[in-house]
Amino acid sequence: MLRLHNVTKRFEEKTALDGVTLEIAAGEFLVLVGPSGCGKSTLLRLLAGLEHPSHGEIWLDEVNITAASPRQRNFAMIFQNYALFPHLSVKDNITFGMRVRREPKAGWSARVAQVARMLELDELLERKPAKLSGGQRQRVAMARAIVRDPRLFLMDEPLSNLDARLRGDVRDSIMALHRQLCTATVYVTHDQIEAMSMADRIVVLDQGRVQQIGPPEYVYDRPANVFVAGFIGSPGMNILTLPCERGAIALGAQAYLLPAPAQQRDSVIVGIRPEHITDDLQGTRQLLCLPATVTQRELMGADYLLHISTPIGALRYCRKNRGDAPRVGDSLSIGFSPIDIHLFDAQTQRALYQETPHAFASDTALTGAHLYRLAHALRQRAGEGEHRLHVSGPG
């Protein structure tokens, strides 16, 4: 097991990592994901021994390796730019590390042959890198790492230089390799599709701090804060700040009774994922409904991403491409289930969760006067009646 305890890394005035603590289990595929400059590559370099922490410790099992050299750690790193020697053949690139480490030559051929079969490089061993495709070069870099038989693989955005089709192929190869070798892997990417599809757990970083750690499904379904909610998911979650009145918010002509953690607040941040919004309001599902106008539509292939204006603000939602998607300027009604609403504290931006289902406000929970005041607050926010809410006046 690899453990980082309160690791901080500073470069002069800039703090690249701030108090990072995490554990990497044996055989785990851990993905570091976040926007550019969030500290994920710096964290990988600290693990590799190419940089040393300004503060904190790194442990491998029961050994403190904080100050250990890269050679002493026996980790293998796969770089974004492949780092192949152009004057050496594929075979010589694969064996380069063994030559530097002065390993006995007796076992070289068998190990190279085994890895070449594993990565389908058998016919390419005598070629130079210039004669290889991007995907083949990446497989050579992987082969060079594998023959080292490392304790840990470190992968720094290995797919970012590949086109979309090759990226998918090499991603499949990496996962097949991981299942075969069962070696712990730390994988850095800014691509959340890679993170969600490959990871046992993901670590979401922003501005050098860990925002959330967990299995991809959990992070997607229960984001810890507004940043994670907006970053994880494509397209990102709709985020709105709405006023509260007596523990409820106005959504069109309906009131939504907030769960206990969100009550007693003047405002709350509301999140709803685009795929959880529908314009198919048939059936018996209990939905919160809003009038909407289409302002933009984007064809995404199997789906349209529709941008709409509503009484509570601008939203985006996904609509299957069946040839009947609404067009710009069309008016329609959209709806979403209360159980799909995410709530965040307006000050801390941290998630507000409770285990009991969300509910509509009952007639006694929110009077017409309260609903009217909510509507008025929303109209002021939107701009003096720009969107008219279908609500009752004071009762």
Q: What is the pLDDT of residue 175?
A: 92
Q: Which residues contact 140 (CB under 8 A, 6 or more apart)?
A: 82, 84, 90, 93, 94, 121, 124, 129, 132
Half-sphere exposure of 219 (CA within 13 A, CB side): 27
Q: What is the pLDDT of residue 167?
A: 83
Q: DSSP 3-state assignment of 361?
A: coil
Please, which residues bridge with residue 292 across strands?
A: 332
Q: What is the pLDDT of residue 390?
A: 35
Per-residue pLDDT of 60-85, as tens digits, reads: 999 999 999 998 999 999 887 778 99
Question: Is the pTM here over 0.85, yes or no?
Answer: no
Estimate the crossing angle of helix 108-118 against helix 90-100, to 10 degrees.
Answer: 130
Q: What is the pLDDT of residue 360?
A: 41
How far are the Cα atoms of 67, 105, 150, 230, 365 from residue 72, in angstroms, in the given order? Answer: 10, 21, 11, 40, 65
Rounded average pLDDT over 234-250: 91
357 is written with which tokens? 């289902």
Q: At the top level of CATH, which class does the domain 236-359 belong to?
A: mainly beta
Q: What is the pLDDT of residue 261?
A: 72
Question: Rounded to whole angstroms, how far apart are CA atoms 311 and 381?
Answer: 10
Q: What is the pLDDT of residue 269?
A: 95
Residue 115 pLDDT exceeds 60: yes
Check: CB of residue 121 under 8 Å from CB of residue 90.
yes
DSSP state of 123: G
Residue (of 246, 207, 200) closest to 227 by Cα position? 207
Q: What is the pLDDT of residue 128?
A: 94
Q: What is the pLDDT of residue 251?
A: 84
Taking CA 138 as the corner, what is the angle to CA 137 and CA 140, rounded to the nearest 5 degrees?
Answer: 65
Question: Rounded to whole angstroms, how far apart are CA atoms 393 and 363?
Answer: 14
Name the one residue in this structure whose structure tokens are 């607040």.
265
Q: What is the helix (H) or strand (E) element at residue 380, kind and residue range?
A: helix 368-382
Check: CB of residue 75 under 8 Å from CB of residue 68.
no
- Lowest average pLDDT, out of 46-60, 148-162, 293-307, goes to 148-162
Check: CB of residue 361 under 8 Å from CB of residue 255.
yes
Rounded average pLDDT over 294-310: 94
Rounded average pLDDT over 114-130: 90
Q: Which fold has domain 2-227?
A: Rossmann fold (3.40.50)
Residue (of 70, 199, 85, 186) closest to 144 by Cα position? 85
Rounded average pLDDT over 256-270: 85
What residues does each domain of the chain span?
2-227, 236-359
Q: DSSP 3-state assignment of 169?
A: helix
Residue 335 pLDDT exceeds 90: yes
* Residue 380 pLDDT level (bands cut at 50, 70, 90): low
**Average pLDDT of every residue of the chain:** 86
267-272 and 238-243: which strand pairing?
Answer: antiparallel
